[in-house]
Structure formats: C-alpha cells, structure tokens
A and B are shown apart, each in its own frame.
Chain A
Amino acid sequence: MIRFEAVGKRYPGGGEALATLDLEIAAGEFVFLTGPSGAGKSTLLKLVSLIERPSRGQVVVNGQNTRRVSRRRIPHFRRGLGMVFQDHKLLADRSVFENVALPLLIAGFSQRDINRRVRAALDLVGLVDKAPRLPLTLSTGEQQRVGIARAVVSKPPLLIADEPTGNLDPALSLEIMRLFERFNELGVTLLIATHDIDLVTRLGHRRLELVEGRLIGDTGSSDAIA
C-alpha cells in the first residue's frame, strides 16, 4: 500500500527532515508512527499525501509512484486516501452533514448516493443525530469523529492521520483508536502518527519509530490480524 525507497527530504533553507528512509506497509495493516516532535512524522505523512515531494528516492502509494503524479493529478490522487488531522480541518460555516458530504460532492456523486453514504459514515462514528449541527457546536471529540467520517465517506483503501488524538483526553483517544480499529477490520490500511506512547503500547499494533529523520525501530506487522 505504501512503499518508501531510499527517500530523503530536505526543506529549502532547513535541515534534513528525512534521511534515506526505506519502508513498506502492506494493504490491511494498522501502523503507528511514533517519535519526538521534529522527528519527521509529519513530513512522512506529507510525502504520502503529496503535500510535499521527496528530495530523493521514490514514494509509492496505492500502486502509484508519486513522482509520476503531476500537479494537475494531485486532487485525483488525494481522493484515493482519507486524511485525519489533529485540528480536524472542518469547514466552520457548513453543517456536519455538508462537511462529510464534501469529498463525495467533489467526486461527483448523485445526491441520493451522497445522502446514503453520509448517513452511513455518520452512523459509523455515532453522530447521525448531529448531522444538521455546525461543527463548532460539537465537542472536540465529536468534531474529530466528524473529521474521521469525512475521511472514510468515500471508502478510501488508505487512511492516514496526523496526531488524531492530540487534543483529546485518554478516554476519548481510546474511543477514536477503537474507531480506527473498526475501519481496519473492514480492510482499510491505517497509518497514524502519534506521540501517545501509552496508547500505542496498549493497542499493540505495528509501530515505526522515527528519530531525527531516521527509522530506528519497527516492531513488524505481527499484530496485523485483528
């Protein structure tokens, strides 16, 4: 699902964010990405979502070499993956329903399909009754679940999340992770950057540890079978 081959990333005017990284994540895996701040977790996720391009090496996502994805094709490429953010990145002036519907609108689904799929996605995260509300009237945990519903509504095979529980208390964090595990059971590949080591240890999935742009630990995918 994701393959890094000798990937390096250097930001202009900055240091080396990633140094010669080799990595393989198979379809259906549940992978945590850990490490201290500035270790390159976000950079790695940005390379997967084509927010950044590698300075060296190849990144292959979903069978596509990102080098061969032109600027024009990036939107289409991104529709193949779901993204969850620490700050949710919801549109404040649109209802929960409209936020979740946005990826389907972009992809050109019919209104009937949109209604059906948004209901299903909101049902998965337990927020069907909040559909007409504005995001800011919801709690942080609920907002994050809206963000997750939006990420999975178009049924992408890959879900990446950057500190999805960064603003949540332990109980809510666990709740969100359990949600991710349910998607994983449905076949979605997950790559989640977090520094919540307790949670990672407790859930016991494959863990990649980055320090200063280098992969210093990989527990392997022994846990992949749920």
Chain B
Amino acid sequence: MPSPDRRTGELRRTGPGLLARVRGYFRLHVQNLLGALGRLARQPVASLLTVAVIGIALALPAGLDVLVSNARTLSAGWASAVDFSVYLEPGQPLARAETLAAEARGRPGVIAVEVISAEEALAQLSRFAGLEAALEALEENPLPHTLVVRPRPGLSAEEVGALAAGFEQLEGIDLVQLDTAWVERFLAIVDIARRASGLTLMLLGFAVIVIVGNTIRLDIENRRSEIEVVKLIGGSDGFIRRPFLYGGLWYGVIGGLLAVVFNATALLALSGPVQRLAGLYGTDFALQGPGFAGLGMLVGGGALLGWLGAWVATSRHLRNIEPT
C-alpha cells in the first residue's frame, strides 16, 4: 500500500491562472499566425502557386468591376451631356424663337441655348452633296426655326428628360427631340456587364474557397501524425485547428495582395491607350482605379474566403483523425 504521506505535495498538479491563460491564449494566436506564415515560406514554390491562382481568381472579377464602374462613370457623363433640339411649329416667326431662347436661358439646368433659324438650317442641309438640287426645287423653306438646348452637366438622365418635357408644353413648339436612346442602350450593356462581374465574383470566390480548402486538406494529410500526437497529449480541436485557419487566412490575404498587384499592372497598361482614345473623342477621361476601399475589400475578401476554405477543410477532415 502506498503511504499517504508520500511527497505527493511536490507534484501537485497546478494549472495556470486565469490571467496567464488569457495572455497565453492571445500569445498562442500570435504564434499561430506567424507560424502559419513560416510554414508557407518553407514551401515557397507550392505556396506561390496556390497564392498565384487565388490572386488571379480574385483579380478577374475585381478587374471587371473596375472596368464596369469606369464605363458607368463615363456614360453617366453622356446621359446628361446630351443636347436636345426644340423645333418650333412651321410658320412661327424668328422673333418667337429668340423670345423662347431668352426665356430658356433663364431656366435652371440650362447653360446655353443656340437659335438656328430655318435659313441657317437649310443652308447647312444644302451643304450635303446631292441635296442641293432637291432643295432648290422647293418653293419655300420647309424647315422650322430650332433651339438647341444644352443642359447643365451633372444632371441625371431623368432631370434632362424633365427639362426637355418642360419645353413641349410651351406655345408654338412642335417637337422636342431628346436623343438618349443610344445612351440607354449603352447603359443596359454596362448593366449586363455589371451582373456578369457579380456572377464571376461569386463563381471565382467559390473557386478560392475550394482551392484553399484543398490545399489545407493536403496540409492536414501531411501533418496527420503530428495532429495525432497533439490530440494524444490533450490538444483541443480548437488548438489543432487554429494553425490551419491562419494558414487559410494567409493564403487569402497574400492572394488578395497579389490580385491588387495584378489589377494595378493592368490599369497601368491600359491607362495610356484609354487616355489616347479619350483624347480622340475630345474628353479628358482617365481610368479610375478601385481606390483604397476597393483594394481593402480585395484583401479583406481574400482573407475571408481563405479563412472560410480552411474552416470547411478542417471541419471535414480534422475530426476523422484520431490516435489509435
């Protein structure tokens, strides 16, 4: 029989205090975070490949989004920069046109009104080859006087529409012609592109989860015996899981950063030609990058997807590893 007064006291099992445990918990997190990065660095080629695939998968929808939002910025300018023509009823005197123009200049939302008299219009028309003879055959000028109204830039398409409609109510106006149909068509195309970029984002986001999940699964397989040992000496599921979650987080973050680099390179390569094209159209339009918020979302989104992929992989595979 063991004697009761053996020196058991010396070996009384003492656990760490609460404060030490909380501090230890945070220290463990930091160690796991850095440790996971270290593990990535120890297999540079494999890690780089994984990260590059994630980077491309993230850069594609992000790049599309940049293009779409640029197209929207560009076309938003167009929709309101459209001049519209106000045709007076035939037979209205030029003086009426001048009066209307003076009145129109006072309207809010209008920055310029040009009067084109019927004679000027006919002169313009007759400059087109082939029409000259036909026009000379006419006994009288069939064209009305016209006002060309330029709305203030920055108005929305609806506001411009309302402005144009306002002219239709006026005495002596035959027709107001607002040619924004092509802008609307363009906007519809942009909208489709925007949807497509959303879908791409969803698909490739899912792809990132799968890529990270698969990489982490292989990582778990490779470290199977280590996991068994840690389980044997009392490591909790959380303790075992944490390094893998941080691994996934790193894959996502570095992939996101790489996507930022890809996008910046693409923007840089495109900005020159785009500026030349814009110059040809007489505008000073320049490609806008995604901005800091966009870049932050790219890296943050990458981190989230990476973590999620690791979470899925560890949920599925860690449980099955038990010491035997």
A residues sitting closer than 8 Å to B (CB atoms) are: 26-29, 49, 51, 72, 75-80, 83, 89-91, 102-103, 105-111, 113, 150, 154-157, 183, 185-188, 221, 224-225
What are 15 A-B contacts with C-beta separation under 8 Å?
A26-B2, A28-B3, A51-B322, A75-B234, A75-B237, A83-B233, A103-B234, A108-B25, A109-B20, A154-B13, A155-B11, A155-B14, A157-B8, A157-B13, A187-B11
A225 to B20, CA, bound (A): 37
A155 to B7, CA, bound (A): 13
Indicate whether A106 sits within 8 Å of B1 (C-beta atoms), given known contacts A51-B324, A78-B232, A155-B11: no
Contact: B10 with A221, CB < 8 Å? no
B168 to chain A, nearest CB (A): 75
A79 to B25, CA, bound (A): 17
Interface residues of chain B: helix, strand, loop or mixed (majority): helix
Q: Is B185 an interface residue (CB 8 A)?
A: no
Known A-B contacts: A150-B233, A185-B7. Give 17 more (CB < 8 A).
A51-B232, A72-B237, A75-B234, A76-B236, A79-B233, A83-B233, A89-B225, A89-B228, A106-B233, A106-B235, A109-B24, A110-B23, A113-B20, A155-B12, A157-B13, A187-B8, A224-B2
Indicate whether A26 sits within 8 Å of B11 (C-beta atoms), given known contacts A102-B233, A113-B16: no
**Docked complex: B94-117 residues within 8 A CB-CB of A:** none
**Docked complex: B1-34 residues within 8 A CB-CB of A:** 1-3, 6-16, 20-21, 23-25, 27-28
Indicate whether A108 sits within 8 Å of B16 (C-beta atoms), given known contacts A76-B234, A91-B229: yes
Q: Is B231 an interface residue (CB 8 A)?
A: yes
A113 to B23, CA, bound (A): 12
A209 to B295, CA, bound (A): 69
Indicate whether A49 sits within 8 Å of B2 (C-beta atoms), given known contacts A155-B12, A186-B7, A187-B8: no
Q: Please, which residue of chain A has its CB at the minimum distance from the CB of B226? A: A91
A102 to chain B, nearest CB (A): 6
A71 to chain B, nearest CB (A): 9
Contact: B28 with A75, CB < 8 Å? no
A221 to chain B, nearest CB (A): 6
Q: Please, which residue of chain A has its CB at the minimum distance from the CB of B18? A: A108
Contact: B2 with A75, CB < 8 Å? no
Q: Please, which residue of chain A has its CB at the minimum distance from the CB of B229? A: A89
Most chain B beta-carbon contacts within 10 A, residue among A72, A75, A89: A75
A114 to chain B, nearest CB (A): 9
Q: Please, which residue of chain A has its CB at the minimum distance from the CB of B322? A: A51
A222 to chain B, nearest CB (A): 9
Q: Is B323 an interface residue (CB 8 A)?
A: yes
Q: Please, which residue of chain B has its CB at the minimum distance from the CB of A76? A: B234
Q: Please, which residue of chain A has its CB at the minimum distance from the CB of B324? A: A51
